[in-house]
Amino acid sequence: MTNSNLAQSASRVGLGNDHRKEPPFFFSPRDYENLRAFAARIIPSGSNIEEDPGASEVGTVNYVDSWVLDESDSTKADLRQALEFVDRNCRERFGLTFKDLHAEKQDDFLSWMAVDREGSDFFDKLRAACIEGFYSDYCDPDYVGRTAWSLVGFQGKRISDVKKDWSFLRIYREKDC
């Protein structure tokens, strides 16, 4: 394998991104965009995104992309394989990446994936990562708006209401928050 092929391969699986100052930090750009679209279908925005933001608005994909950097090699491999499954199957079935499908086709694909013998485990892992990212009360450093805990009416002290230390996530270390 040539150095050029090796670099392309490393970039595809998310290796070698550690030098980046902006997301994606872990995922390849294609996997990152597919995960962003996946998260948007799992936790969609309401008709008024100011009052009912979804995964896209709060930056769930950035939480997952930053969080996975510190996870085990097994977790990293699981998420990579899950996104490769999404990409491969979307290309085979529709000739497009997941992010390029219309919302209705994305939903059809996710419905199929959730019950597919091979795909259901991958679906569960990606869905769990998206749900964790959204309901952790995370939001991107530049986001100003409602977060998950206020959406569900949580009455206790919300992370989004206090000065928080999200520095364990790469996106916050790079933004110098």
pTM summary value = 0.80
Residue 42 confidence (pLDDT): 97
The per-residue DSSP string of 112-152 comes to HHHHSTTHHHHHHHHHHHHHHHHHTT---TT--S--HHHHT
Cα separations in angstroms, 11 against 19, 78, 85: 12, 17, 17
Exposed e or buried b for every residue in 85-109, given b needs 16+ CB within 10 A?
bbbebbeeebeebbbebeeeebeeb
| Helix ranges (DSSP H) in the chain | 3-13, 29-42, 55-58, 60-67, 73-94, 103-115, 119-135, 148-151, 170-175
Q: What pLDDT shows up at residue 166? A: 66
| pLDDT, position 156 | 74
Would you state the pLDDT for residue 58?
Answer: 92
80 Cα distance to chain centroid: 11
pLDDT reported for residue 88: 97
Q: How many CB atoms lie within 10 A of CB 146?
A: 17
Residue 148 confidence (pLDDT): 86
| pLDDT reported for residue 80 | 96
Per-residue pLDDT of the chain (177 residues; tens, 9 = 90+): 333 333 343 444 444 455 667 889 999 999 999 999 999 999 999 999 889 999 999 999 999 999 999 899 999 999 999 999 999 999 999 999 999 999 999 999 999 999 999 999 999 999 999 999 999 888 888 888 888 888 888 877 666 566 666 666 766 665 543
Give the pLDDT confidence score for residue 152 in this predicted structure.
Answer: 86
